[in-house]
Structure 1
Amino acid sequence: MTSSGQILEQIVDNVSKCILGKKNEIELIITAMLAEGHVLLEDVPGTGKTVLIKALSKSIQGQFNRIQCNPDLLPSDVTGVSIYHPKTESFVFKVGPVMANILLVDEINRATTKTQSALLEAMEERQVSVDGECHPLPNPFLMLATQNSVDFEGTYMLPEAQLDRFMFKLSLGYPDEDTELRMVQSQKKGHPLDELQPVTDMDTILQIQKQVYDVHIDEAVVEYGVQITRATRTHPSVRLGASPRATLSLIHASKAFAILQGRSYVIPDDLKQLAPSVLAHRLILQPESLYNGISQGSIIQSVMDQVRAPVRMER
């Protein structure tokens, strides 16, 4: 586990050369990759979402594709299409941009709901179906979708079923003044992304993904995770709480996060740190909660205060 932790630390440091002051967010995205999850990045334009994803792709030598969403984008523009060749008198599948190790779906909420739904199979089944045939996606496969705030003109709300398939929802936010100053100074002679060198390869990432399943998690910690998600379902401000898929995501992500921290076991603090990013976007609030300005984040915080963490565990 130590060697894996060192490799992952190198990835974090490498990506941090392009995205300053966002180590926590970088670690969470790498955690999602190791846990075979997907990430939704919601923020205002220009905060470095695309640069972060490109930097990660270059760091691990992954096949990178990008889909720029707009209202004219069709499902076949995502999945690919079968083309008839007269010479061979047969159909040949022309792969779409979804066939990648790291897929950036930029401004996903600018695409229509029909096109958004085309991504559901890829996210959950890691395959696409075209003309009755299933085409598996490359392994590993990580989808990172960016989303502008819903009050921006020309955006569509993502359906709850699609939101639930994102392991994490993150926001980079604006940098502080010192970080923004360092960012400007670092780009006087060019963008750091242009000179970024890989630190590992996809085979190594696949090996670390397999190690995630061997990370020890005590039964008391598993029970703690289950209690957290179940508490969201009975919260008076919540109309629909976190799903069982959210429970599985929280537990598996905590095992990946432990490897990132150089440990072979999960501690309750791992779940505490991950819970807001895993659970908040899955909650549907009561109408009166929205009127009173109650947020999903505040509800997760109240749940974490309510559920008692285990104090003794077996390693």
Structure 2
Amino acid sequence: MFVDCVEIVAASGKGGPGCVSFRREKFVMEGGPDGGDGGDGGDIVFKVDSNSDTLSAFRGKKHYKAQNGAPGGPKNCSGKRGQDLVISIPPGTQIFNADTGGLLCDLVESGAQITLLKGGKGGLGNVRFKSASKQRPTYAQKGMAGQSLNLRLELKLIAHVGLVGFPNAGKSTLISVLSNARPKIAPYAFTTLIPNLGVVQAGQFKEFVMADIPGIISGASEGKGLGLDFLRHLERTKFLLFVLDTTYDVQEQYTQLRHELAHFSSELAQKDFGVALNKMDTGQVPEFSDPKAKFVLPISAATTENTGQLLQLLTQALHLG
């Protein structure tokens, strides 16, 4: 199941308490203090795992806690440090403070990691408090508490090209033709309910990732349909491809799509883009132009007509040579 937003509670480990102990050995007169320090608590670490592309592993589990530090022991033995809890996340995950909404980190690169919550410091044992005036200290420090945060994890898929269009415009068919993705395809609207990623071969040693998100409807940027849930996945793309259905008014489709993107994010409205006039096999290829578009190309995803030329134009737009 594709999951791109979850809320969890993460807590680092508590530091172990220091030990109060005195030497009790044969032939040792009036043994002094020998209580060891408590171990530090474990940290909460987030690490990017490139083998994952969804947050579904977090479903059904809300609380994540690192191990507490062990108490100090006699004979100056320090307690064992608590084990860190390493939480794996897919590339493109943003971590927010769920209470304030503030962005804490944005992890994109595979293998990248961050220690988000430090474990509590272990308490000092009574041997640490021995002095000339205090030969037999009978106290030690308690371990410090760990940190706890309510976190919201949001996944933004990482892709070079994002497909934008209304339901049933042919985006799923197009990504299945150009890439290795095999999305569900059917002759009705809202067939695509989750984003699909596909790797497109643009040459012998060149490839790029294409993302197909669920169809956008009017008002998507305000929460209608599925658009609001998945529009954020377009924010990481380098290039947008508007897929317009030529059996309807393409100018009206384009105007509404541009409005929804701009209303959702000014960054999206400024991205480079091209336009594919799909379903030319129906015999309808209306006039359309936009001086800001890198290209406007009639295609038929169903018959693959002009899809080869579309691939070349996308490759050039991404500067892949």
Q: Looking at both structures, which has the greater relative contact order when contacts are Cα pairs under 8 Å and sequence separation is at least 6?
A: 1
Structure label with greater radius of gyration: 2
State the TM-score, normalized to the length of structure 2.
Answer: 0.25
Q: In proportion to residue count, which structure has more strand?
A: 2
State the TM-score, normalized to the length of structure 1.
Answer: 0.25
Q: In proportion to residue count, which structure has more helix?
A: 1
